[in-house]
Homo-oligomer: A and B are copies of this chain.
Amino acid sequence: MNYPSRLIEDAVNEISRLPGIGKKTALRLALHLLKREEEQTRSLSNALLDMRTKTTYCAKCHNIADDIYCNICANQKRDQSIICVVVDTRDVLAIESTNQYKGLYHVLGGIISPLEGIGPSDLHIDSLIERVENPGDFAQVQEIILALSPTMEGDTTAFYLQKRLKSTGVKISTIARGVPIGGDLEYADEITLGRSIISRVAYD
């Protein structure tokens, strides 16, 4: 395409490198920014650069952080005796938004996937064992919750983690799998429904 200005062309090319954004959408976004006050583009541009250059990863849980420890690990009100193992920051945000969990997290940074060439050594697994064996300034870990997706990769990773954690003697659990709340039984897939029968919960 013949862009009217080289600067627009550069901007469109850069925006369209983002996942899920093509050249047409990128052009629409660029023209939108051109119509708005300069201040909006300036804030966007600065926010992106600050985020990329100033954020680090939490020394404890590998979540994104502004400091040595992330907000969650640094929060003295959280229960340090329980660690929820997740794949990435998005999972942390998803669990945090439920308001049901008050423990700490451990971000693996990925999932074991032989197809994509991701093995256990590519993930933050050694540091998880370390947190259990040498809590340091933190409280002794009593339980590890594996909150991994119920997929082949998730199950493989969960199986591997169980094996590695076994020697530490820590209690290991996994998030419940079953029919989603609000979902209609007849639309639940047979594997989920089958599992939810096997893992049925007795009324107290």
Please report whether the interface of chain A is mostly helix, strand, loop or mixed according to DSSP. Answer: helix
CB–CB B44/A2 < 8 A = no
How many residues from A make CB contacts under 8 Å with B?
Answer: 58
Copies in the complex: 2
Known contacts A34-B64, A66-B7; A52/B41 CB under 8 A: yes
In whole angstroms, what is the CA distance A40 to B32 when docked? Answer: 21
Chain A residues near B (Cβ < 8 Å): 1-8, 10-11, 13-15, 17-20, 25, 27-34, 38, 40-55, 58, 63-66, 70-72, 88-90, 92-93, 96-97
Q: List 6 A-B contacts (CB under 8 A).
A: A2-B93, A4-B64, A4-B93, A34-B64, A38-B52, A45-B48
